[in-house]
């Protein structure tokens, strides 16, 4: 049996702008995971996930294509990952096989409510890597990212794939997305193997080292949000010129934030985090899309009152907020104050690739 885990993610800065190629974001992988197991079977296969009642969905094949009843199918990202890897496997002259694939996730509260930690990206990455191992396919982190990104975009075509990158590479990363139209055009002309080996314009993934005195706190509002829906609403807004101005200002802010990582300047890092929050508030006002909910505002204001720098994480609309303090600061009063207003402090830390963890 093969078992692969992929971590969840949180955005530190660069949300919304990152969906445009070449605009940077800072993202972390967190130490909560989606785990995929794959075990060979005969005659038919199955896909099982606790997130969807733990009842397996069975599949068979017709002309090497995976066939199951899609009328009540919650496994879109998993199926897209399977399709992508099996296309790669056929190009590598591997015979397709049946298997039982099982997914378990720590990226929700145990009752199916997601924390906003990028579960779709993590399950896509874990499925792709598990099946690459199952079929003995050659892969590097970049090939893993590209396979998972192609699978992910076939389901959600308005994302940056930053969550995919965080799940593949771990730790703190600076990420800029690729030119998706260019990749889609190449996908029609090249084999998948060729597409995996060429440079994708705009794509940049760089490991970052946080200042040694940085302390990260993560709060959950208790309200899940749909990233795809929020991004759609922002991009369809009438405020086109204002949106482009936001993208430019976000680019400058996140570039300065990345420089603060490179120079190990915690104060500058916190300042740029505050700037990024302000930019997101302005974007919210321009587009009439609620990014910083009242609960997120409470989370942020409390952290700021105790000397931290805080903002919403990801698309907002609920989910999580992040706060950055120095190691010298006692954050217990912050966590207590959060709890008093209904914010749940999540006991998460940054996951570095290769660290031991419990599935």
How far apart are the C-alpha atoms of 108 and 230, rounded to whole Å?
A: 20
What is the reported pLDDT for 321?
96
Are 211 and 327 within 8 A, CB to CB? no
Structure tokens at 197: 């080996």
Report the DSSP pairing between strands 98-105 and 45-49: parallel
Neighbours of 209 (CB within 10 A): 11
**Predicted local distance difference test score (pLDDT) of residue 71:** 44
Ranges of H-type helices in the chain = 76-91, 119-134, 141-155, 162-169, 180-189, 192-197, 227-235, 240-262, 266-287, 294-305, 332-340
**CATH class of the domain defined by 2-207:** alpha beta
Query: Which DSSP category does 17 fall into?
Result: G
**CA-wise closest residue to 320 among 9, 5, 3, 56:** 9
Residue 72's pLDDT is what? 42
Please check whether the two domains, 2-207 and 212-345, share a CATH topology.
Answer: no
Helix (H, G, I), strand (E, B) or coil at 321: strand
The pLDDT of residue 302 = 98
pLDDT of residue 69: 47
Class level of CATH domain 212-345: alpha beta
Give exposure, 269-292, as e/b (b: 16+ Cβ within 10 Å).
bbbbbbbbbebbbebbebbebebb
Biggest CA-to-CA distance, the chain = 62
Tens digits of residue pLDDT in 220-259: 998 877 777 778 787 777 667 788 899 999 999 999 999 9
d(CA 88, CA 96): 11
CB atoms closer than 10 angstroms to residue 157:
10
Residue 244, pLDDT score: 87
Domain ranges for the chain: 2-207, 212-345
pLDDT beneath 50: ranges in the chain: 69-72, 359
> pLDDT digit string (tens) for 276-298?
999 999 988 888 889 999 999 99
């Amino acid at each position: 049996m093969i078992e692969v885990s992929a971590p969840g993610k949180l955005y530190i800065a660069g949300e919304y702008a990152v969906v445009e190629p070449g605009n940077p974001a800072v993202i972390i992988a967190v130490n909560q995971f989606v785990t995929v197991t794959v075990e060979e079977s005969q005659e038919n296969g199955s896909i099982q996930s606790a997130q969807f009642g733990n009842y397996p969905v069975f599949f068979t094949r017709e002309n090497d294509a995976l066939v199951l009843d899609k009328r009540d199918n919650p496994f879109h990202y998993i199926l897209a990952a399977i399709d992508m890897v099996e296309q790669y496997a056929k190009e590598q002259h591997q015979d397709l096989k049946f298997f039982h694939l099982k997914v378990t996730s720590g990226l929700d509260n145990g009752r199916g409510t997601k924390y906003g930690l990028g579960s779709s990206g993590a399950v896509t990455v874990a499925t792709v890597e598990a099946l690459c191992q199952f079929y003995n396919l050659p892969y590097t982190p970049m090939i893993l990212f590209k396979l998972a990104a192609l699978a992910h975009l076939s389901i959600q075509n308005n994302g940056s794939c930053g969550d995919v990158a965080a799940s593949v590479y771990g730790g703190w990363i600076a990420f800029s997305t690729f030119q998706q139209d260019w990749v889609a055009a190449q996908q029609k002309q090249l084999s998948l193997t060729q597409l995996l080996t060429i440079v994708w314009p705009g794509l940049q993934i760089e490991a970052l080292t946080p200042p040694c005195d940085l302390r990260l706190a993560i709060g959950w509002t208790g309200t899940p949000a749909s990233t795809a829906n929020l991004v759609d609403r922002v991009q369809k807004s009438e405020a086109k010129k204002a949106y482009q101005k936001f993208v430019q200002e976000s680019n400058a802010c996140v570039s300065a934030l990345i420089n603060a990582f490179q120079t190990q300047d915690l104060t500058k890092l916190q300042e740029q985090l505050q700037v990024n929050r302000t930019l997101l508030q302005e974007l919210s006002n321009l587009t009439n899309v609620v990014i910083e909910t009242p609960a997120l505002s409470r989370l942020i204001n409390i952290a700021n009152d105790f000397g931290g720098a805080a903002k919403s994480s990801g698309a907002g609309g609920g989910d999580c907020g992040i706060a950055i303090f120095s190691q010298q600061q006692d954050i217990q009063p912050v966590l207590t104050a959060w709890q008093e207003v209904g914010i749940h402090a999540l006991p998460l830390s940054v996951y570095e690739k290769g660290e031991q963890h419990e599935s």
